[in-house]
Structure 1
Amino acid sequence: MSTDQAQDTITREIEIDAPLAIVWELVSQPGWWINDGSIVDNAIQEKDGVWHVTNDTHGTFPLLIEGSNEPSHVAFRWAPWDERAVEAGNTLVEFFLEGLEDGPVTVSVVESGFASIDLAAGKVAENYRDNESGWETELGALKTHLEAP
């Protein structure tokens, strides 16, 4: 696990003892990571190419699907600090899956683009710090959820 010194990119990874197809099914869902440390069923609705993910606790987050290559890569754009910024001034969240069909699977997340966000430097740094620890929590939740009997 590493973090770029320039505070533009966060990279995390975890190994999950589950079949690749099962991991892909969850990781490819827009906003699966929007929760409080355990995977929940968020309401997801698509309108005009923007996915709106609603979490009962945290509200609604717009996301764009930037690209997908099943079952190894999916990318989303989001701006959790300002829903109007989802199409500009956002970060790119990419998930990479590597492993055997029957597992285990290494899931890597790379969130980049913090340096180009049009916000006050303090606000960018706050979002970076929040997501830096947040990805640890979310990947842990992913592992716990997918490895549960």
Structure 2
Amino acid sequence: MSTDQIQDTITREIEIDAPLALVWELVSQPGWWINDGAIVDNTIEEKDGAWHVTNSTHGTFPLLLADSREPSYVAFRWAPWDERTVEAGNTLVEFFLAGPGDGPVTVRVVESGFASIDLATDKVADNYQENESGWETELGALRTHLEAR
């Protein structure tokens, strides 16, 4: 597969029956989506200008905060394939929140930048496919977690 065949962007959306402030509180946490389909308490440490999120199963992932506009938008850069490349080769993960203060809240995630990553094409394509289904799982976990509160 050549780089011109790699898809660049994944977009997923879900509606959550919870107050906007509660959704923002979780979605704005670095790496909340690093888990196995259920929200867990990852260890988060700020070091060398990045957030290092450690999940007991999946290891440590550095994330860079790209932008934050409470309570409607937050974006992170991350490189889940190699923690050493977060500053050089990464994707942008954006979360858009919309809805009234008391809910429901629509959460849209857009992960982009796959086509410009300087890694083996098959590795990028595999990561794209994993994340394509992974975002559905993670948004479902987000809804389950927040609606149970």
- Shared fold (TM-score greater than 0.5)? yes
Count of aligned pairs:
145
* Superposition deviation, residue 48 in structure 1: 2.2
Moved more, 6-15 or 137-146: 6-15
Which residue pairs with 2:73 in the alignment? 73
**Secondary structure of residue in 2 paired with 1:144:** helix
Letter in 1 for 2:52: H
RMSD: 1.0
Which residue pairs with 1:89 in the alignment? 89
* Superposition deviation, residue 21 in structure 1: 0.1
CA contact (8 A) 2:6 2:125 kept: no
**Secondary structure of residue in 2 paired with 1:24:** helix
Q: What are the equivalent positions in structure 2 for 1:70-149 lying under 5 Å apart?
A: 70-149=70-149
Measure, in 2, the Cα distance between the counterparts of 1:87 and 1:144.
32
Query: Structure 1: which 5+ runs fail to align?
Result: none
Moved over 2 A (4+): none
* Superposition deviation, residue 68 in structure 1: 0.1
**Secondary structure of residue in 1 paired with 2:109:** strand
TM-score normalised per structure 2 = 0.95
Measure, in 2, the Cα distance between the counterparts of 1:38 and 1:81.
21
Change (3 A) 1:143 1:87: same
Q: Percent identity?
A: 83
* Superposition deviation, residue 6 in structure 1: 5.6
Letter in 2 for 1:53: V
* Superposition deviation, residue 103 in structure 1: 0.1
Measure, in 1, the Cα distance between the counterparts of 2:51 and 2:13.
25
Measure, in 2, the Cα distance between the counterparts of 1:88 and 1:27.
24
Instruction: List per-residue Cα deviations over 1:15-66 (Å, max 9, x = no partner).
Output: 0000000000000000000000000000000012100000011010000000
Measure, in 2, the Cα distance between the counterparts of 1:51 and 1:67.
14
Query: Structure 2: which 5+ runs fail to align?
Result: none
Which residue pairs with 1:32 in the alignment? 32
Measure, in 1, the Cα distance between the counterparts of 2:113 and 2:76.
12
